[in-house]
A and B are shown apart, each in its own frame.
Chain A
Amino acid sequence: MAGIVGYGVHVPRYRIKVEEIAKVWNDDPESIKKGLNITEKSVPGIDEDAATIAVEAARRAVDHSGINANEIGALYVGSESHPYAVKPTSTIVSQAIRTGHKLTAADLEFACKAGTAGIQMCAGLVDSKMIKYGMAIGSDTSQGRPSDALEYTASAGGGAFIIGSDKSEQIAEILKTTSYTSDTPDFWRREGAAFPSHGGRFTGEPAYFKHITNATKQLFEMTGFKASDFNYAVFHQPNGKFPIVVSKALGFEEKQIKDGLLTPVIGNTYSGASMLGLAAVLDIAKPNEKILLTSFGSGAGSDSFAIEVKDKIDEKRGKLTKVSDIINTRKIYIDYSTYLKNRGGIKKR
């Protein structure tokens, strides 16, 4: 079926360490680092937002794919921090990467899983031959209320995937995808509110764990695969701990999930998180290897994918900007006051 023709990511250079935030609120940094399995998180610059991150990721995806952006027929940007309340981010991206105007586009919002929902929409459109290529982006500059536990994790970043049905162009094929969705009030933000609210402990068991587990088990049933059939597994990563716990319960070993687990060093990039995790795995995956991806969005739902890597992946590596190149180069560490200033820029929106 449909597959990935190219991908690209972007993560801002700014970082703030757990110690720096903990100092302000008199928290014990060691217990937070251990409890959340996170050491630092990315912070957007004052001139970066979900649209600029989406554009940088999208441009890298077009370069990597080798396609003409003019042939992209659908563009979806998933985010919970779209810069405008009314005025699509997707049209800004389409102008900046020069797709044509023969294009269907929309902004998606489903907490942290809007990016993978976009991949599913593009897959349907290319498989039904309505379009040649679709682009799905997950991009966020997420916000945590000062002194809330989320402040240690809410970060910024994004990933863009170009989906096409021509197998000769695919670097990886989507073998199957399925979703599990239910009305669950674990996390929300009302219109006009600057920060999200959440149900505390309620965000774990009935939300993250239930939806990821059910979607992944559904995928196992539909494909006949089991955990050991996959070389890599990527799960949504609101912190560094949850994906480790859920993967163990599903029968995965740590070596399968370590390469796609980025939250310990960049934080939770929300809509970008599953996309970045998948990109990090594709950066190193070899032909014929299998990848499991299960996202999660509060509210709540999970999209699960079985992906098989194709020979083309090696051929296209020359034009690839790897996740590790972006997240490990020229990081700029900032203190809490600079963080507040940058975040003020975000909050203004």
Chain B
Amino acid sequence: MEKASASAWRKFNARYNMIGNVCKTCNTKYFPPRIVCKNCGRNTKMEEYQFSGKGEIFSFTKIHVPSEAFKESAPYVIGVIKLEEGPMIEGHIVDSGKEPQIGAKVKQVFRRMYTDGEEGLITYHFKFELI
């Protein structure tokens, strides 16, 4: 439990606000943040970078048989999102009265991701919604 809350806490900036980083040497943006730039290695100069939270659906799939943690949310949609700034990330696409399609524009929203049983922590996380 103690380990779980400490590791959750370290990820708040990424999970809540899509804060990644940018290598000032080659201007490549990373989400989730990386310590070493793929292009620059030892010449990496990382700085915090606030992603816009906007992007488009690169691919998606509907999950009908989920893991235990997401049992109550099924069926739900997971997508690979190409962020405006370049990186591709996996994320939940929330039900928003519009069917997801490849190429459709999305923006980040703030939602519950999962709860650690009846008594544990609630994990909040960005998800994506069709614009």
Which residues of A in the span 40-63 have a Cβ within 8 Å of any Cβ on B? 45-49, 51-52, 55-56, 59
Q: Are the CB atoms of A332 and B118 closer together than 8 Å?
A: no
Q: Please, how many angstroms separate the alpha-carbon atoms of A83 and B16 in the complex?
A: 17
Residues in B neighbouring A55, C-beta threshold 8 A: 110, 124
Q: Are the CB atoms of B113 and A47 closer together than 8 Å?
A: yes
Q: Please, how many angstroms separate the alpha-carbon atoms of A345 and B12 in the complex?
A: 23
Residues in A neighbouring B115, C-beta threshold 8 A: 348
Q: Please, how many angstroms separate the alpha-carbon atoms of A96 and B110 in the complex?
A: 8
- State which of B24-32, B35-43, B55-63, B94-102 sits at the interface with chain A: B94-102
Given contacts A47-B127, A56-B110, contact A95 B73 (CB under 8 A): no
Residues in B neighbouring A47, C-beta threshold 8 A: 73, 94, 111-113, 127
A330 contacts chain B at the CB level, 8 A cutoff: yes
A206 contacts chain B at the CB level, 8 A cutoff: no
Task: Please give me the residue from chain A that is nearest to B122 by CB atom.
Answer: A83
Q: Are the CB atoms of B96 and A95 closer together than 8 Å?
A: no
Given contacts A48-B111, A98-B17, contact A331 B72 (CB under 8 A): no
**B117 shortest CB reach to chain A, Å:** 9
Residues in A neighbouring B73, C-beta threshold 8 A: 46-47
Give chain A's interface residues, CB within 8 Å of chain B: 13, 45-49, 51-52, 55-56, 59, 83-84, 92, 95-96, 98, 330-332, 341, 344-345, 348
Residues in A neighbouring B17, C-beta threshold 8 A: 95-96, 98
Most buried by B among A330, A331, A344: A330
Identify B95's interface contact among A92, A332, A348, CB under 8 A.
A332
Most buried by A among B96, B109, B110, B122: B110
Residues in B neighbouring A96, C-beta threshold 8 A: 16-17, 110, 124
Q: Please, how many angstroms separate the alpha-carbon atoms of A45 and B112 in the complex?
A: 10
**B105 shortest CB reach to chain A, Å:** 14
Q: Are the CB atoms of B111 and A330 closer together than 8 Å?
A: no
Q: Please, how many angstroms separate the alpha-carbon atoms of A186 and B73 in the complex?
A: 36
Identify B110's interface contact among A46, A52, A84, A348, CB under 8 A.
A52
Residues in B neighbouring A49, C-beta threshold 8 A: 112, 122
